[in-house]
Amino acid sequence: MAMATGPPPLTGIKVLEFAGLAPGPFAGMLLADAGASVLRIDRAQHGGGARPAQDLLTRHKASLAVDLKRPRGAALVRALVAGGADVLVDPFRPGVLEKLGLGPRELLALNPRLVYARLTGFRRDGRYKDMAGHDINYLAVSGALSLLGREADTPHPPMNLLADFAGGGATLFQGILLALLARQASGRGQVVEASMVDGASYLATFPRLLLKTGLGARGRGRNLLDGGCPYYDTYATKDGRYMSVGALEPQFFAALMAGLGLAGQGWEARRHDPGEWPALRRVLEHVFARRTRSEWEAVFDGTDACCAPVLDYAELETDPAREGDQRPAVALRRTPCLAVKRQGDAPGDAATHGQGRGVPGDGYEGAALTPGQGGEEVLAQWLGWTKGNEYDVSDGGFVLAKAESKL
């Protein structure tokens, strides 16, 4: 018998996300995908029509435009916190919200159950705490960047995936979930502090430990898993595309050699000798260049050679036979997260694909969220507020309608 599907796991959780770029919105998106009601606090749009913010990580969110420097604007945020917000996401540099009277001391006094989640690039207590930076800088001082790149090249970051999104937004999301879990036992919220330096460093735990072993001590780009080993790398095919190879175990390596027509040449016995790696790499480059990627797929699909095509998003988006549809990060069998890909009336397995109709763009196109979009509906859902009673809109921003007498 099929298991009954319940609401997404974070249904009922109310989140205030101060507008930012990349990691903060990503954390908010993860919360929204899991069913939380996420209300982004955007800057007020003075003197003209509302313009979309520079943020594409907006699915399942709504927005309020607020001038936090106006007393009635900041009062509105305090009222939302006092009214039962569960999570607040602070993406600013240290001290910004404190200067506006919206720091953790003030807001936790209003709502002791609040999870006040803060994200910085550099550590708040480190030597770089007063400096501006980006993903590449946080990755650099974490030590992780020193491990990335080819032997003969400079250290090279993997776009802004590792510090901004994995070490930043996803790590903050994890901290929020831990704080919500702890609140079940204590009844109290707390401050959650994440930094992209610490997040990236934590993600690099395994390669950092390998530096003290023979598997990672040869220097950047010369080891088993960092591009130094020829049977853990990518190779160009005849049509200018690429195949990935990860044939580490002996049985997988044997299957690779068989598929390439190289079985019986002695590479199985010599593959552990780094001195043989340059010669093996030349052989692999030559052999892979003889056929197109699709021809190599025909050889290796269904085998244990650990040899798979390098796919790009353009083909994933247009080829339904590929595993390109955007799904929730994890399948929850009883309480699935929300769908990303549009599914119509018959979505199939809700846990695998997510529940609900999905979003425009199917995860390939971000939808800009105009400041104020959907905000009035969320205020009504959260607190039963209506415009002209509890709040007003003044000079492009939402403000508290009444005096902040008890806040």
Same domain membership, residue 274 and residue 170: no
Task: Summarize pLDDT for 191-237 with one digit per residue, the tens.
Answer: 999 999 999 999 999 999 999 998 899 999 999 999 999 999 999 99
Q: How much is the average pLDDT of 92-113?
A: 96
Concerning whether 395 is annotated as a catalytic residue, the answer is: no
Q: Looking at residue 320, what is its pLDDT? A: 86
Same domain membership, residue 305 and residue 372: no
Q: Is the pLDDT of residue 47 over 90?
A: no
Q: How much is the average pLDDT of 102-124?
A: 97
Q: Looking at residue 347, what is its pLDDT? A: 59
Q: Write the CATH number for 112.
A: 3.40.50.10540
Average pLDDT of the chain to the nearest whole number:
94
Task: Render 182-226 in DSSP notation, one character per residue.
Answer: HHHHHS--EEEEEEHHHHHHHHTHHHHHHTTSTTT-S-TTSSTTT
Q: Which of 318, 345, 367 is the last residue of a domain?
A: 318
Which residue did the predictor score with more confidence, 343 or 305? Answer: 305
| C-alpha span between 280 and 26 (Å, rounded) | 42
CB 14 within 8 A of CB 37: yes
Same domain membership, residue 125 and residue 37: yes
Q: Write the CATH number for 258.
A: 3.30.1540.10
Q: Looking at residue 186, what is its pLDDT? A: 98
Same domain membership, residue 72 and residue 115: yes
Lowest-pLDDT choice from 106-120, 324-338, 358-372: 358-372
- Look at residue 5 and tell me if it is in a domain: no
% residues pLDDT > 90 (the chain):
87
- Look at residue 213 and tell me if it is in a domain: no
Same domain membership, residue 21 and residue 83: yes
- Look at residue 264 and tell me if it is in a domain: yes
Q: Looking at residue 1, what is its pLDDT? A: 40
Residue 281 structural domain: 232-318
Same domain membership, residue 272 and residue 149: no
Neighbours of 182 (CB within 10 A): 14
- Look at residue 39 and tell me if it is in a domain: yes
Same domain membership, residue 265 and residue 184: no
Q: Which of 86, 164, 233, 325 is catalytic?
A: 164
Which residue did the predictor score with more confidence, 49 or 270? Answer: 270
Task: Please tell me the pTM assigned to this model.
Answer: 0.94
Q: Looking at residue 346, what is its pLDDT? A: 54
H runs (alpha helix) in 341-405: 350-353, 375-383
Q: How many structural domains compose the chain?
A: 2
Same domain membership, residue 45 and residue 190: yes
- Look at residue 130 and tell me if it is in a domain: yes
Q: Looking at residue 45, what is its pLDDT? A: 82
Q: Looking at residue 343, what is its pLDDT? A: 84
- Look at residue 30 and tell me if it is in a domain: yes
- Look at residue 200 and tell me if it is in a domain: yes
Q: Looking at residue 48, what is its pLDDT? A: 62
CB 140 within 8 A of CB 167: no
Task: Summarize pLDDT for 256-278 with one digit per residue, the tens.
Answer: 999 999 999 999 999 999 999 99
Same domain membership, residue 162 and residue 19: yes
Residue 317: pLDDT band with limits 50, 70, 90: very high
Q: Which of 264, 289, 318 is the last residue of a domain?
A: 318
Q: Is the pLDDT of residue 403 over 80?
A: no
Same domain membership, residue 278 and residue 388: no
b/e map 341-371, b = 16+ CB within 10 Å: bebeeebeebbebbbbebbeebbeeeeebbb
- Look at residue 329 and tell me if it is in a domain: no
Same domain membership, residue 35 and residue 178: yes
Same domain membership, residue 375 and residue 242: no
Task: Summarize pLDDT for 340-384 with one digit per residue, the tens.
Answer: 998 876 557 899 999 998 999 999 998 889 999 999 999 999 999
Q: How much is the average pLDDT of 90-118?
A: 96
Q: Looking at residue 293, what is its pLDDT? A: 98
